[in-house]
Amino acid sequence: MKVFTVSEMVAAEKAADAAGVSYAQMMESAGRAVAEAIMARYSVAGMRVLVLVGPGNNGGDGLVCGRYLAQAGADVAFYLSKPRNPATDANYAQIQQMGLFAVEAGFDQRFRVLRTRLSVSDLVVDALLGTGVTRPIVGELAKLMRQCAAGIEERRTALLEQTRSRLVSLDFNTEAQRRREGSGLPVFAVDCPSGLNCDTGALDALAVPADLTVTFAGPKRGHFIFPGAAACGELVVADIGIPADLPVVQAVDVEVVTAVLAHALLPPRPKDGHKGSFGKVLIAAGCDQYRGAPVLAAKGAFRAGAGLVALATPDVVRQTAVVALPEATYPPIAAEKVLAAETAVQLLPTLPQYDALLVGPGLGQTAVDFLTTLLTAPSLPPLVLDADGLNGLAQLPDWPRLLPPDTVLTPHPAEMARLMGISLADLLARDRVEVAQEQARAWGQVVLLKGAYTVVAAPDGRVTILPFANPALAVGGSGDVLSGVIVALLGQGVRPYAAAILGGYLHGAAAALYPGDTGLLAGELADLIPQAIRLLKSNR
C-alpha cells in the first residue's frame, strides 16, 4: 500500500479523473467509506451525529458520509464553516432534498447552535479541513474549532458523569472494567484530523484528535509522523477507485506494510521439511557485560522458524546460555569474556556452512577488532548487523565498502547518527523516511531505522513503513529479538529487504498481541512471534 505526499495524492486523483474515475465518483466513494467505517463500529439507527463540513472536497466527503448515515437511520445534522451553493454542489443539494438539518457558521451567533448540537451528539464527523493544510488556523475558522473542542469536551464530561456510579468498587478488576466501558463522544476524521499537516506531521494547536481516521487510496506521510500521528487514532484506509497501475501511483516509492503483504513474504514451511530445510544461522554476540543479548537474539531466531541456531559467544556467556537455550549449538571458540579478532579468525573457515549471520547484540567494546577481521572473509552469508556491531562499524573508515551488498543494518536513532557521523539532535530533526532512504542508497545496504514508526529502506530507493508505534516495545532486549527474527528469515531464503520488512512486521505484531503497553519482557516478545505468524496465515 502506497504512502503519499500531498502532491503525490493530488497527482493521483488528477490521473484517476483523466482515466475515467471522476472526482465526483471518488468523493462518493470516500464519503460512503467513512460511513461504512462508522456503521461497522456502531449501530447508527437513532444515533445523533454532527458532521462538521469545511468548504472544500473534504467537506464534500463529509456531506456524502452524513447522507449515508441518515439513510441508515441516524439523526444527522451538518454544520458548515462556509456557505455551499446547492445549485453547484450536488451533495449539498441532496441533503437539502432529504430535509436534513444544516446550518452555516455565519448565521450562528456566538456558536449557540453548534454548542447546542454538540451537547446532545453521540458522534462527530470532522470534515472541516483536508490534507492541504500547511498554515496555522486563524480567523473565524480558529474560533469555530475552539468552540468545537470545548463543546466536545463538555459533552464527554457530561456522558461520563451520566455513567458514573455512586458506588466505588474496591475490586480492581470490576473497577477497571467499569472505566473501560465508560461513555465518550467518538470523533471520526475524514482523511485526517483537521489541522494535521499531512506531509510533516505538524499538528495545529486547535486540532481535535480523532478516535478513528479514514483516509483514502493510501495513508499520507504525516499520518506516521509525530505529533500528528498521535491525533489520528485508529487509521483505516479506504479504496476510492484510484487505479493502482497508474504511472503516478506506481512512481510513489514509499509503502506501508499490510497483513496481506506480510503474509505473502512468509517463507514456505513444507510438511516434509527438516531442520536443515529451515536454515542454519550463526549469531556472534555477547560479552561478560551483556550476557542476555545473545540468548534473546537466538530465541527470536528459533521462534521465527530457524531450524538450527549456532551461538558464537564467550565462555562466560556460554555457561548460562546453554541452560537458558539448550536448543542452540555452541561452536568451540577460544574466547573467555569477549569476542576479539582471534575469535573471528577461528570462525572464518566455518562461515560457508551457515545460511545467514548476525553480528552485534551485546558484543561490547571489542566489536571493532572482531568486525575488522570477520569482514576480511572472501564471502559472507547474508548478514545482519545490530547494536554493538553497528557501533563498531561506525568506527571503521569507509565502512560501507567493507560490507557485502544488501547487508541488513538495524540501527536505533543513536546508532544511525553514529553511522552517519552526525549528532543525534541533527538526526531527530530530519524526516526519518528520507534519512533511511538516502542512507540506504548511499551505503548500498538495507537500512531498518527503528522507532515509531520503523522505516525499512532498500538501496534502490524503495521505502516501507511498519504500522506500529507501541511503547511496549521500549524495553531492553527488544532489538535483540528483532535482529534474531531477521536473521532467521534470511536463513530461510527470504531476500534481505523482504526479511527486514517481514521481521519488523512480526516483531510489531507480536507486541500488539500483548495485553498492554507496559511490562512486556523481550523473552516474552520472542514467544509471541509464532502466534503472530499463525494469525497472518489464518487471516490471509
Q: What is the DSSP string of 374-441?
A: HTTSS---SEEE-THHHHHHHTSTTGGGGSPTT-EE---HHHHHHHHTS-HHHHHTS-HHHHHHHHHH
CATH architecture type of domain 6-245:
3-Layer(aba) Sandwich (3.40)
Query: Please, which pLDDT band fits residue 81 given cuts at 50, 70 and 90?
Result: very high
DSSP designation for 196:
B
Residue 163's pLDDT is 77
Mean pLDDT, range 498-519, rounded to an integer: 96
The pTM of this model reads 0.93
Q: What is the DSSP string of 42-75?
A: S--TT-EEEEEE-SSHHHHHHHHHHHHHHHTT-E
- Asked whether the CA dihedral 157, 163, 164, 168 is positive or negative, the reply is negative
Identify which of 243, 308, 242 has the alpha carbon closest to the alpha carbon of residue 275.
308
Residue 130's pLDDT is 87
pLDDT in tens, 51-77: 999 999 999 999 999 999 999 999 999
CATH architecture type of domain 262-538:
3-Layer(aba) Sandwich (3.40)
Euclidean distance between CA atoms 232 and 398, whole angstroms: 42
Is the peptide bond preceding residue 227 cis, with omega within 30 degrees of 0?
Answer: yes
Query: Please, which pLDDT band fits residue 539 given cuts at 50, 70 and 90?
Result: confident
pLDDT in tens, 148-171: 999 999 999 998 888 777 787 777
Burial group, residue 138, by CB count within 10 angstroms (0-12, 13-18, 19+): exposed
- Percent of the chain scoring above 90 in pLDDT: 91
Residue 182 has pLDDT above 50, yes or no: no
- Share the mean pLDDT of the chain: 94
- Asked whether the CA dihedral 212, 61, 208, 8 is positive or negative, the reply is positive
- Looking at residue 44, its amino acid is V
Residue 6 has pLDDT above 70, yes or no: yes
Instruction: For residue 149, count other CB atoms closer than 10 A to its CB.
Output: 15
Residue 175's pLDDT is 52
Q: Do 171 and 196 meet the contact criterion of CB atoms below 8 Å apart?
A: no
Whole-Å CA distances, 330 to 308, 312, 345, 355, 431: 11, 6, 16, 16, 42
Burial group, residue 102, by CB count within 10 angstroms (0-12, 13-18, 19+): middle
Residue 380's pLDDT is 95
Euclidean distance between CA atoms 316 and 533, whole angstroms: 34
Residue with cell 486523483: 13
pLDDT in tens, 290-306: 999 999 999 999 999 99
Query: Please, which pLDDT band fits residue 15 given cuts at 50, 70 and 90?
Result: very high
Task: Specify the domain boundaries for CATH 3.40.1190.20 within the chain.
Answer: 262-538
Task: Specify the domain boundaries for CATH 3.40.50.10260 within the chain.
Answer: 6-245
Residue 240's pLDDT is 97
